[in-house]
Amino acid sequence: MPDATRVLGPAGREPAVCSVTDMSLIVIEGPIGVGKTSLARILSERLGARLLLEVVEENPFLARFYEDKERYAFQTEAFFLLSRFKQHAELSQAALFQRHTVADYLFDKTFLFASLNLHGDEFELYRTLFDQLRSRLPDPDLTVYLRAEPDLLLRRIAKRGREFETDMRADYLAEITAAYDRYVDAAPFPVEVVDAGAIDFVAVEADREALVARVLGRLEAVAS
């Protein structure tokens, strides 16, 4: 397990400003299989917002990473870093047309996963690249952290049927969840923590409406 300083990323950074009154960036985060994209789609529809979805299956190294993590970790993480930066850097253009953006991932997750998968000189090189890119991006106005235990995550992962995720292990998911927990505890921006194992906002309308109301209420509170 990495230590907390690795998971939390660079310290002492002055966050860029992204005002909710002019434009808001709402991010849905959580471990693999927790339902980030589903909730992001729901919220973007309610807000009439731009939807920013993570590029996962286009990563040419990902399938090989799950087969041999040590060999393909750096290539996998570097691809995600540059791909995610490009997406987030383009958000300023969207502000000209839409007030809100809802994303199904936090840019900082690149550092979080790298801290689990990279070591030694590769991690130090990655940290340098991340620091340079992260300093150019604003913090989200609100992050919704969907939290669930590994057994539930494994069931959801199996249900969606991505071939490269078929060998996902519970201990790896537990490691990711623990890293997210530490990150959220020290996040320098508003975070709404949701027990995603206690609700089913995809299949149960009452759960969905209650969660949407909760998130929009928190967003209004952040803006005031």
Q: Give all domains of the chain, ordered by start, each with its CATH number.
A: 19-223 (3.40.50.300)
pTM here is: 0.84
Which residues contact residue 131 at a Cβ distance below 8 angstroms, ignoring those fewer than 6 apart? 10
Q: What pLDDT shows up at residue 159?
A: 81
Hey, which residues does 165 pair with through a beta bridge?
none
Report d(CA 58, CA 62) in Å as an integer.
8
Which element (helix H / strand E) includes 160? helix 150-160
Tens place of pLDDT per residue across the chain (224 aa):
334 344 444 444 443 334 444 568 999 999 998 999 999 999 999 988 999 998 887 899 998 998 899 999 999 999 999 999 999 888 766 555 567 899 999 999 999 999 999 999 999 999 999 999 999 998 999 999 999 999 999 988 888 777 777 778 899 999 999 999 999 999 999 999 999 999 999 999 999 999 999 999 999 898 87
pLDDT of residue 95: 56
Identity at 55, one-letter amino acid code: V
Starting from the edge strand earliest in sequence, which strands make up the sheet with 50-52, in order? Answer: 50-52, 100-103, 24-29, 142-147, 191-195
Active site residues: 104
pLDDT at 156: 86
CA distance 178 to 165: 20
Query: Which tokens sit at 47?
Result: 């807000």
Residue 122 pLDDT: 97
pLDDT of 4: 37
Handedness of CA 169, 173, 178, 179 (dihedral sign): positive
Q: What pLDDT was estimated at residue 23?
A: 60
At 118, list the tokens.
């990279």
| Beta strand ranges found along the chain (DSSP E) | 24-29, 50-52, 100-103, 142-147, 191-195
Residue 16 confidence (pLDDT) = 39
Residue 77: the pLDDT is 96
pLDDT at 98: 61
pLDDT value of residue 201? 95
Label each residue of 31-94 as H, E or C: CCCCCHHHHHHHHHHHHCCEEECCCCCCCCCHHHHHHCHHHHHHHHHHHHHHHHHHHHHCHHHH
> Within 10 Å of residue 60's Cβ, how many Cβ atoms?
11
